[in-house]
Structure 1
């Protein structure tokens, strides 16, 4: 039996001891049944939250260094068990093994990053006193309570655990609803966390659909993390608002890349092939709009199309596969309809533009378009597939305006031989992360810096201090050490007010007061 056999992994899920409705989980490479998944409901969610809430106080009371040791052990187990874990991810999601490995690396690095920093983040902080010598002020950080996480299918490992890692290290317990298509990868991660020493009731996974599990999860959470589509994100945000809980949402993107004439075109082609076609384009920070300066547009496009046509796209679990499958028939239909609609609106397909049923039921060829007009759906809407449109531009102000002509603002990429010029342009693009001379990876793996979106791409940030402190409630603790903040006994308040006015004006610029 495999280390992560689905039938065995079901024991990790929080499901009451009763019959559950089930759904068939497909293997995207073949369309055949991979496993059956029991579907929970609001009763299972409430069971999970009751247990997580009961466990939360003791978990938060543990020394942060002890919590960190568990997450560091989880970091090690991810690498020790990478073979069978990648086997599961590839079969369940249809992604190329190399892209599964990138995901595993991100999950491990995120765990390590926060494990090394959580104790420092949680340390009490001394703050500036309004009356030095009289009043002492400090801030301490308390856990939110039970954090709900709703994760998507496209990155079933890292998006299931990265938010959870920070929440756990801050002293929270977690209840996760993963996407139905990729629940077993989340359960495998939970198994490793428990093997690393995480108490069972500190982290629960409840499998199920959005209506049956998601709504109840929002209603019971003290804080909510959601990663997914903008349409669903709006619903989740409204539900969170109804329950007066805070949330962070990472949503869609229609991400631009800008290639200047002084860029190393061969390097840009290699990087943007990764940026457009990693995980078959099913990546919220993938590039879908390519703006190339007219001076090099023809040369770049020729090289880029040739590189796209050389991609090894096939159903296989070996390291040589460069692009895997779309996840489902629905995703294939969306991608196909976007391309056909663009064709109908006058776009030219330079390569691809068709499904690859001979490779697998949900494969779609790496596709490059040009002459895409505003009438086409994929001009403005996120395609979330291996499809990119190439546009020309002539000056910087023009391309910045076009890059910003979107409701989204998640990620951007600028390519130039002058790195400082690249940074200057990147700063002008409205997005949460921007990369110079790479597509998305540098910002994605920069766990000490915030990651998130502007506009319709989301609310809040993961990674960095921002991604940790969202899971805490800061408490200000002020101690009156001497005197009183009031007129002394027997002194008229009018005199006290006049004296305070003169004193505060006199010490306005004294060091230690500012």
Structure 2
């Protein structure tokens, strides 16, 4: 395992330092972004530290319950005029935002690295994903949301159609691990659907959300329509749930269940993306070198702090030894580093809590008989939150990481002799978010993928193929969530459907002179005929 001293992409003559990270946006810039958050000016602020160094990077004001409720009221006023605009006008904002994101990516790459501790290439994944989301909804929203004509009850005489209306004000609770991409995936479709949004990003990575908010308003989004509140869930969570016309949450399964129960009492809608224990199946005909390289990305991108990253690998016994050898070698070659720039392959964990959780999972497995093939230790010589890419074998079922989500750069390898057994073991989980299948026969890979109980399954990829295809819905089965983001479904969930039918001529009840029994017979014949016609 090697470290790297990556260089910043900036060419400034005087590099700035925030949180001890040279080349990061200036403290003044961080303060400028924080001022875009609503409320909280009189409450106790929270100091955010840079994962690479453990030094302060920003001071974040915290909103109160009253602040959040006022923000919802203001957003509700702004939403009315926004919803009255044609969809094509609303989606033009996202088209302009798409270009701004790509053109000004250097600053947000620095911010993501500063806040989340990612390697720069992992940060770029967020930039690319955000631009793809803006581009997709900037192009397709009018078609998806447009009025739909359907066949009426009586041909010609019944004119029927469906309209879509915005929910009103959407509450979005965003996680710390993908602060830019997950903000875009949830907030942008809600806005283009005609809603206002009140978002609570995690304090640790709030600057990334605030940066996108700034660009959206520069792209033409009306001020006051997308509001960002900063605060602890224990303080402002009730206000978010009680005021929102729809709630979108990404985070842990226990918290998601708690929020769902509260929202259900109000009879409002919600979507949840929750935990995962994502499997990867390597079929016996898989090209070993490609599968091993793919596994490195699938397991260790963003230091494994990705809801769709792989934590379990099932390899056919015929190639298990060869795959394991290649996978371990590639993991050991990864360069860990904490400077800005593209020199490192993997960054650090984001918080002390994550480091503690990952370390505890590995030590528990090691103590109960698991074999550490590589990694398995923190790297304080590189920074306070670095942890080596870790591969385990011989993991017993009575350890925490066997079935529980680790959410770090840790993966376990298991062998299998029969594909049916591999599929059954992949499905033997409370979770069902993402999965990966590797094979030399893509038709066979598709067939295996279709039998895995997960919301997304990638063949010869870890997660990027489905994650990057914005037209596909993304979400979890079982305890990995409810509802979907992306695709048409990720837009329509932020709307209420309304059905309208206009009846002309013949009524749908018998005229007074016609006996009801005769009418029923005639309608029966007509319904049979309609089945043949339609």
After TM superposition, the score normalised by the length of structure 1 is: 0.97
CA deviations 1:337-376 (Å, max 9, x no partner) are 0000101111000000000000110100000000001101
Which stretch shows the higher mean deviation, 180-189 or 381-390?
Answer: 180-189
Match of 1:58 among 81, 84, 98: 81
What does 1:92-107 correspond to in 2, within 5 Å? 92-107=115-130
Question: Tell me, what secondary structure is at the counterpart of 1:332?
Answer: helix
Maintained 8 Å contact 2:376/2:390? yes
Query: Is 1:303 paired with 2:345?
Result: no
Q: 2:33 matched to which residue of 1?
A: 9
Match of 2:62 among 28, 39, 45: 39
What does 1:362-377 correspond to in 2, within 5 Å? 362-377=385-400
Which stretch shows the higher mean deviation, 301-310 or 211-220?
Answer: 211-220
Query: Is 1:508 paired with 2:532?
Result: no
CA deviations 1:388-425 (Å, max 9, x no partner) are 00000001110011001100000010111011111111
- Deviation of 1:24 after TM superposition, in Å, equals 1.0
Maintained 8 Å contact 1:12/1:205? yes
CA deviations 1:424-451 (Å, max 9, x no partner) are 1111110000011111100111111111
Unaligned runs of 5+ in 2: 1-15, 17-24
Maintained 8 Å contact 2:49/2:56? yes
Match of 1:424 among 447, 452, 457: 447
- Deviation of 1:43 after TM superposition, in Å, equals 1.3
Distance 2:132 2:55 in 1: 34
- Deviation of 1:506 after TM superposition, in Å, equals 4.6
Q: 1:171 matched to which residue of 2?
A: 194
Q: 2:251 matched to which residue of 1?
A: 228
What's the C-alpha RMSD, in Å, of the aligned pairs?
1.3
What does 1:174-193 correspond to in 2, within 5 Å? 174-193=197-216
- Deviation of 1:130 after TM superposition, in Å, equals 1.1
Maintained 8 Å contact 1:133/1:482? no
Q: 1:499 matched to which residue of 2?
A: 519
Distance 1:312 1:275 in 2: 16
Task: List structure 1 segments (4+ residues) > 2 angstroms apart after TM superposition.
Answer: 1-4, 483-487, 496-507, 509-514
Question: Tell me, what secondary structure is at the counterpart of 2:297?
Answer: helix
Query: Is 1:49 paired with 2:69?
Result: no
Question: Tell me, what secondary structure is at the counterpart of 2:337?
Answer: coil
Which stretch shows the higher mean deviation, 495-504 or 235-244?
Answer: 495-504
Distance 2:115 2:285 in 1: 42
What does 1:340-359 correspond to in 2, within 5 Å? 340-359=363-382
Maintained 8 Å contact 1:132/1:513? no
- Deviation of 1:11 after TM superposition, in Å, equals 1.9
Maintained 8 Å contact 1:229/1:251? yes
- Deviation of 1:496 after TM superposition, in Å, equals 3.0
Question: Tell me, what secondary structure is at the counterpart of 1:509?
Answer: helix
Distance 2:438 2:42 in 1: 55
How many corresponding residue pairs? 510
Distance 2:520 2:314 in 1: 61
- Deviation of 1:512 after TM superposition, in Å, equals 7.3
Distance 2:522 2:498 in 1: 32
Distance 1:146 1:512 in 2: 44
After TM superposition, the score normalised by the length of structure 2 is: 0.94
- Deviation of 1:260 after TM superposition, in Å, equals 1.4
Match of 1:475 among 498, 503, 508: 498
Maintained 8 Å contact 2:118/2:346? yes
Match of 2:147 among 119, 124, 127: 124
- Deviation of 1:483 after TM superposition, in Å, equals 2.8
Query: Is 1:405 paired with 2:428?
Result: yes
Maintained 8 Å contact 1:177/1:213? no
Maintained 8 Å contact 1:309/1:351? yes
Question: Tell me, what secondary structure is at the counterpart of 1:501?
Answer: helix
What does 1:310-349 correspond to in 2, within 5 Å? 310-349=333-372
- Deviation of 1:161 after TM superposition, in Å, equals 2.1
- Deviation of 1:510 after TM superposition, in Å, equals 4.1
Question: Tell me, what secondary structure is at the counterpart of 2:429?
Answer: coil
Which stretch shows the higher mean deviation, 1-10 or 21-30?
Answer: 1-10
- Deviation of 1:503 after TM superposition, in Å, equals 3.5
Distance 1:162 1:387 in 2: 27
